Amino acid sequence: MTNKIRMETTGIAGRTPADVREKCAVARELENAGDYEGARETLADIWRGIGQRPDIERLSPKDAAEVLLRAGTISGWLGTSGQIPGAQEFAKDLISESIRAFERLADRDKLAEAQTDLAICYWREGAIDEARVWFSEALTRAKAPTNQFRVLSIALSWKSPRTDLPTRLSCWIERRRYWMKLKIPPSRLDITRSARLFL
């Protein structure tokens, strides 16, 4: 799958806003597939790699925030897999800058995505309390139920030390299925209350 995505990106050349958005979307797909080097290569004309700031000078605020988020997230994953010193700090700096940009843009779901990625950086460094704070913050900011579920699933996949976690997660999933079946949107309060069981 990643080779197909990489081949499709060879046709994406230039620095128009549409090109930048497309490159970021492809980079995110490659990240999700675990091809972090491919994701970095996709952004090569915007970002040279770990330790280098992306070239965002002529981009719109939204596109610049997305490039910062992608570069930060990719730096974190490449830094972990390659044991690159300072990569997590660099990743946290870029992601933190994207968080400030998404806050200014009032884009709650992108803000939650960035906060989740920042939490992962802290988790990799062993800063569990900071990671939990950022996961919780992301959950309260996430607007779409799918984004809320993404935050929870990522947070839970990092092996919470709480006991009886599978039982609590199973109950939460069953409740979500029931809401979806009845087409009742869950309230933010209920999502937040449920999250406290896990985080």
123-145 burial by CB neighbour count: b if 16+ within 10 A, else e?
A: bbeebeebbbbbbbbbbebbeee
| Domains of the chain (ranges, CATH numbers) | 2-159 (1.25.40.10)
Non-local (6+) Cβ contacts of 54 within 8 A are: 43, 46, 47, 67, 68, 71, 94
CB 141 within 8 A of CB 115: yes
| Three-state DSSP class for residue 22 | helix
Looking at residue 56, what is its pLDDT? Answer: 92
Looking at residue 31, what is its pLDDT? Answer: 87
Looking at residue 165, what is its pLDDT? Answer: 46
Looking at residue 43, what is its pLDDT? Answer: 94
C-alpha 90/C-alpha 118 separation (Å) is 11
C-alpha 6/C-alpha 18 separation (Å) is 18
CB 141 within 8 A of CB 112: yes
169-188 burial by CB neighbour count: b if 16+ within 10 A, else e?
A: beebeeebeeeeeeeeeeee
Q: How many CB atoms sit inside 10 A of residue 86's CB? A: 11
pLDDT in tens, the chain (199 residues): 444 444 344 333 456 878 999 999 999 999 888 899 999 999 999 999 898 999 998 899 999 999 999 999 999 999 888 888 888 899 999 999 999 999 999 999 899 999 999 998 998 888 888 888 888 888 888 887 777 777 777 776 665 444 444 555 555 555 555 555 555 455 544 554 445 444 4
Looking at residue 1, what is its pLDDT? Answer: 45
C-alpha 173/C-alpha 179 separation (Å) is 10
Looking at residue 192, what is its pLDDT? Answer: 47
CB 103 within 8 A of CB 68: no
Q: DSSP secondary structure string, 71-85? A: HHHHHHHHHHHTT-T
C-alpha 107/C-alpha 117 separation (Å) is 16
Give CA 31 to chain center in angstroms.
10
